[in-house]
Chain A
Amino acid sequence: MSIADNAFTRLQPFADALYHCATCNYCGSATWPQRGIDGVCATLRSHSPVASYSGKGYLATARALLEGEALDLDSVAERAYACTTCGNCEAVCPIDMPPTAVVKALREELHERGHAPAAALAVRDHVLTRQNPWGAPAAHDSDWSLGLAPHPQPDLWLLPGCAAAHRHPAEVRAAAQLLTVMGFDVGWPQQVTCCGAPLTALGFADDAATQHAALTASLPQQATLAVLGGECLSQLRPDGQPAQSVLQLLHAALHDGRLAVAARGDAPPPAVVAVQDSCHLSKPHHGLTDMDAPRLLREVLAALGCQVTQAATAPRYAVCCGAAGGMAQLHPASARRMAGECITAADRFGAEALIAASPLCAGHLAGSGGGRLPVYGICEFIAAHYAVAGPHA
C-alpha cells in the first residue's frame, strides 16, 4: 500500500492518521454508559446505516483516494456532505483519529474538483449574498430587535449570528434584554455579517476566510463581543477576538449576584428539563472545550432551580441534533429525524422541556419536534419563566 502521486493535496496532511485507524467501530456504535457514551453518529442513525457515512468510512474513503483508487466522486460527495461535522466520532476515538477534519478536507477537495452538491453550492451562495445559509432575506436581519434600542456607546457588542437572527430570534432578543439587566451597555450590528462557520463546515474554506475577514472589519476596534452561537464562537476565537459566550456572561452574573431571578407565578418553570449540548461548545474538535460550556449550562439551570435529567458525563459525547454541518440544508428529512431522536430521548428521561445552549440547535429542534416538547434557548427560557432583576432592571 502506498500513496499514489495524485493531487488530493488537502488529504495529504492526514496520511498518517488514515493508516492509523484501527477500524474498531467506536465511531459507529460505541456504547459506554460509565462515560456517558450512548451511540455516536447521528448520520448513521438517521440518514443511512452504511459505514461509508461514518467516521471510519470517511477515513477509508480518504485513504482509498490517496492510494489512487478510482471512486466515483459524486458518490463520495453524497456521503461526505451527509456528515453533520459534529465531532462526536473524534471525541470517542480511542486513538484520537480526526474523521471530522478529514470530512472537511474531503469537502474542500470535492468542491475544487467540481463535485460539491448543488445544495451545498446554494448554501454558499446564500451566505455570500444574504449572510445566512437559509437564504432568508437580509432585510429581516434585525427583526429580532424590534422595539429594542442598541446603546449609543456600547461596552458590549452582542453578535447574534445568523442562526439566532433568522431561526430563533426569541433567544437573541432575550439575550439582549438579559445582558442589559445585568448592567451591560449593549449594542449590536444593524446587519448580520456571517462569520463563515457554515462555509468552513461545508468545505468552502476560502469563502469562509473572506466572510470572517468581512465580519472582523465590520466590528468596532477592540470591541468586546458577546456571542450566542457556538459555531460563531469557534470561528472567531482562534483569531484572538475578545469574544465571550452569552452563556459565560449569564453564568457569571447569576453567581456574582448581578442577575437575580424569581420564578414567575403566571408562567412557572418546569421542574425537570433536558439539555441539548451544542456540539460546537462541547466537542474537542471545535476547540472550545476549555469553556466547559456543558457545566456552565447545568450550573445556570441549577441556579434557576431546575433539575437536569441526563447524567453529568453525557455532554462530551452527546449525539448531534442535526442542525449543523449543512445537514439541515442538504438533507432536511434526515436532520429532522436527528432532532426527533433528541426530543424522544429527552421525553424518555421525563423532561418537561428541552434547553439548548446554542440558538442553531434550539431553532432546529423547535422547528423539527412537532411541538412534542417545548424547546428553548437558555435566555429565552429565563425570559419565559422568570422575573429578573439587576443593576439595570
Chain B
Amino acid sequence: MSWQTEITALLPPGLAWQEPVDTLAYRRDTSIVSPGRPELVVRPPDAPTVGRVLAAASRLNVPVYSRGAGSMYAGGVNPHAGGLVLDLGGLDGILDIDAVKGVVVLEPGVTFGALLAALEPFGQTIGIVPSTGAAATVGGAVSAHALGTGSPRFQSMGDEVAGLEVALADGSFIRTGSAAAHGAGFFQRYAIGPDLTGLFIGADGTLGVITKIALWLHPLPAHRETACLGFADYPSAAAFIGELQRKALLDNVWYGAGYDAAAVRGRLLGADPKLDPATLPRFMLGLDYGGEPDAVARDRTRIEALAAHYGGQPQPRFDEAYFHALRRDELYWYSYAGYFAKSRCAMVLVSLATETLPAFLDLAQTWRERHPQFTWASASVLCRRGLHGAVLTFYDEQHQWPDVQQVVANCTGELMATGCVPYKSGKLWADQVSRLTEYHRALTRIKLALDPAGVLAPGNLGLGSG
C-alpha cells in the first residue's frame, strides 16, 4: 500500500486529492519562492484527524506542509520536499467568544474577515489584522507571524496570542499557557514555566501544526480618524517615530504607515498634477487613530505638536488623496493594488530598529536605481517598538521570475548587513537564518526534539532539506 493510500484512508471520503489537476493550486503561495510538488493534499475536518495524519506521516517519513489561505509572501507553505499538504481550511470554527476573560478561541482555518464579523456584535475586535485579512487565515498568520493593523498598539501577531493547541509530529497534542492545566482554559499566556506558545509562532509549521488559537480581545474603538504628517528627510522622520515610541504616545493609534519619497510624490502628483514636486515632503507618516473621541483628540494634538518639533507638518492632501480611503474603504484591496504595475510582487519583510529607517529607505532607493527592470516600492509599518519594513519588487512572472529570485536573494544579504532582521521567514529567508549560527543550532535542537523524523515543513527556516 502506498503512503498516499494509507493517509487517504484516515480522511472522510472526498477530502484527499492526489491528481495533478487538484494539487496544482497547492504548489506555492503569493511569494517568488519556487513551487513545490505536493503528492497528496488532505483537508482534515477536525483536530483529531490532523493528529492521526501527522502520526502516520512521521511513521511513513512523509514531509508535511500545513497551509491556510496560502497568501503569505515567504514560501513557507510551498511543499519544497514534496509529500503532503495539510489544507487547514476545514478547521474553521469559532469555538468561544469570552468577553469576560477577554479571549476568543478559534480553529486555524478561520479567516480574519469571518472573525471580525463574528466579534462585531459583541463590540469586540482583535489586535492584529493583516491587510490580506479578507481571505488570510488566523492559523496562517500565527504560524507565519504576520504583521498588519494594530502593531502601534499591540506590536505583533505573536503578542496577541493567549495560547495555542498544537498537534505535534507524533500525533499528540499540547495546549500552551494557562490551558495546559486540565480544564483551566485560555486566560493567561505565561504560566507553568517557559513560554511554549512562542515556540510555535512564526515557526512556519516546522515544529507542530496549530489546531486551536486563543487571541486577546479588545473593545472596538468608538471613534476612528486618519491624519498624515510629512517630513523633509528620513532622519527627522525616524527621530520623531522614536520619540513617539519612547513617550508611549501610541495607545490610540491602530495603524501607522511610512511612505518614502517616490511613493509620496507618486500619490500626490497622481491626485493633483499641478503640485510643485519641490514642495513635497520626502517622507509621509499616515496614522489611523482609534479610541474614545476625547483620547484620540488629546493624543493627536500631542503627536502633531511633537512632529512640529522635528519639522513634521500635517498633510491633509495626502490623507484625502490616499491614506483615508485606504484605511476606510480599500483596506483589504491594498495588498494587491501594486499588482497593476507588473504581474507579481516579490515582497521581503524585515524587522528594523527605528533608527535604521533611513538606511533601510536609502537601500531601497539603491535597488531602484540598480535594477530598473523591476518596479520597486518600500513600506514601513509603525510598531510599538521598532518597525516592520517591506521591500516590494514588482516583476513580470512570465519573463523575470528567475531574475527576481536572484536579485531578492542578494537583497536579503544587504538588508541584514544594514541591520535589518528577517521577518516572516518561511523559505525566503532560510539561507540567512541558517547563517545565524548559534541561534540556528538551538532551533535545530528544538526541531530534533519535537520532530525527530524531520517531516514537518522541511526547508523552512533552514531546518531540514527541501
CB closest residue in chain A, given B15? A49
Asked if A64 and B24 sit within 8 Å, CB to CB, the answer is yes
Per the bound structure, the CA–CA distance linking A94 and B70 in Å amounts to 16
Of A15, A48, A54, A95, the contact of B25 (CB 8 Å cutoff): A54
Per the bound structure, the CA–CA distance linking A72 and B17 in Å amounts to 14
Segment of B248-256, B270-278, B336-344 engaged in the interface with chain A? B336-344
Q: Does A37 interact with chain B (Cβ within 8 Å)?
A: yes
B117: chain A residues at CB < 8 Å are: 31, 33, 38
Asked if A37 and B134 sit within 8 Å, CB to CB, the answer is yes
Per the bound structure, the CA–CA distance linking A48 and B16 in Å amounts to 11
Asked if A30 and B135 sit within 8 Å, CB to CB, the answer is yes
B114: chain A residues at CB < 8 Å are: 31
Per the bound structure, the CA–CA distance linking A31 and B109 in Å amounts to 13
Q: Does A51 interact with chain B (Cβ within 8 Å)?
A: yes
Asked if A2 and B398 sit within 8 Å, CB to CB, the answer is yes
Q: How far is the CB of A324 from chain B (nearest CB, A)?
A: 23
Classify chain B's interface size.
35 or more
Residues of chain A at interface, number, CB under 8 A = 39
Q: Does B14 interact with chain A (Cβ within 8 Å)?
A: yes
Given contacts A22-B345, A32-B113, A49-B89, contact A95 B336 (CB under 8 A): yes
Asked if B134 and A30 sit within 8 Å, CB to CB, the answer is yes
Asked if A71 and B398 sit within 8 Å, CB to CB, the answer is no
Of A31, A49, A50, the contact of B111 (CB 8 Å cutoff): A31
Asked if A19 and B398 sit within 8 Å, CB to CB, the answer is yes
Asked if B111 and A1 sit within 8 Å, CB to CB, the answer is no
Given contacts A29-B69, A50-B22, contact A19 B340 (CB under 8 A): no
Of B24, B87, B116, the contact of A60 (CB 8 Å cutoff): B24
Per the bound structure, the CA–CA distance linking A51 and B26 in Å amounts to 8
Asked if A29 and B41 sit within 8 Å, CB to CB, the answer is no
Per the bound structure, the CA–CA distance linking A33 and B87 in Å amounts to 24
Given contacts A32-B332, A94-B333, contact A60 B398 (CB under 8 A): no
Q: Does A302 interact with chain B (Cβ within 8 Å)?
A: no
Per the bound structure, the CA–CA distance linking A33 and B19 in Å amounts to 35
Asked if B135 and A28 sit within 8 Å, CB to CB, the answer is yes
Q: Does B464 interact with chain A (Cβ within 8 Å)?
A: no
Return the CB mask of B343-384 against A: 1 if under 8 Å, else 0: 111000000000000000000000000000000000000000
Q: Does A372 interact with chain B (Cβ within 8 Å)?
A: no
Q: Does A69 interact with chain B (Cβ within 8 Å)?
A: yes
Given contacts A30-B134, A31-B117, A75-B21, contact A23 B401 (CB under 8 A): no
A94: chain B residues at CB < 8 Å are: 332-333, 335-337, 339
From 26 to 80 in chain A, residues with beta carbon under 8 angstroms from any chain B beta carbon are 26, 28-33, 37-38, 48-52, 54, 56-57, 60-61, 64, 69, 71-72, 75-76, 79
Per the bound structure, the CA–CA distance linking A9 and B236 in Å amounts to 56
Q: Does A20 interact with chain B (Cβ within 8 Å)?
A: yes
Q: How far is the CB of B16 from chain A (nearest CB, A)?
A: 9
Q: Does A24 interact with chain B (Cβ within 8 Å)?
A: yes
Per the bound structure, the CA–CA distance linking A383 and B345 in Å amounts to 55
Asked if B69 and A20 sit within 8 Å, CB to CB, the answer is no
Q: Does B29 interact with chain A (Cβ within 8 Å)?
A: yes
Q: Does B324 interact with chain A (Cβ within 8 Å)?
A: no
Return the CB mask of B129-146 against A: 1 if under 8 Å, else 0: 000101110000000000
Per the bound structure, the CA–CA distance linking A381 and B344 in Å amounts to 49
Of B17, B24, B28, B339, the contact of A95 (CB 8 Å cutoff): B339
Which residue, of B15, B41, B398, has the highest number of chain A Cβ atoms within 10 A?
A: B398
Of B20, B21, B134, B343, the contact of A19 (CB 8 Å cutoff): B343
Q: How far is the CB of A38 from chain B (nearest CB, A)?
A: 7
B398: chain A residues at CB < 8 Å are: 1-3, 15-16, 19
Q: Does A12 interact with chain B (Cβ within 8 Å)?
A: no
Q: Does B431 interact with chain A (Cβ within 8 Å)?
A: no
CB closest residue in chain B, given A51? B25
Q: Does B175 interact with chain A (Cβ within 8 Å)?
A: no
Give the interface of B toward A (CB within 8 A). Answer: 14-15, 17, 19-22, 24-26, 28-30, 41, 43, 69-71, 87, 89-90, 111, 113-114, 116-117, 120, 132, 134-136, 332-333, 335-337, 339-340, 343-345, 396-398, 401
Give the interface of A toward B (CB within 8 A). Answer: 1-3, 15-16, 19-20, 22-26, 28-33, 37-38, 48-52, 54, 56-57, 60-61, 64, 69, 71-72, 75-76, 79, 94-95
Contacts beyond the supplied A23-B25, A51-B26, A52-B22: 13 A-B pairs with Cβ under 8 Å: A19-B344, A20-B397, A22-B344, A24-B336, A25-B69, A25-B136, A30-B135, A31-B134, A31-B135, A50-B43, A50-B87, A71-B21, A95-B339
Q: List 15 A-B contacts (CB under 8 A).
A: A20-B397, A23-B25, A26-B134, A26-B135, A29-B135, A30-B135, A51-B26, A57-B24, A64-B20, A75-B19, A75-B21, A75-B22, A79-B22, A94-B335, A95-B340
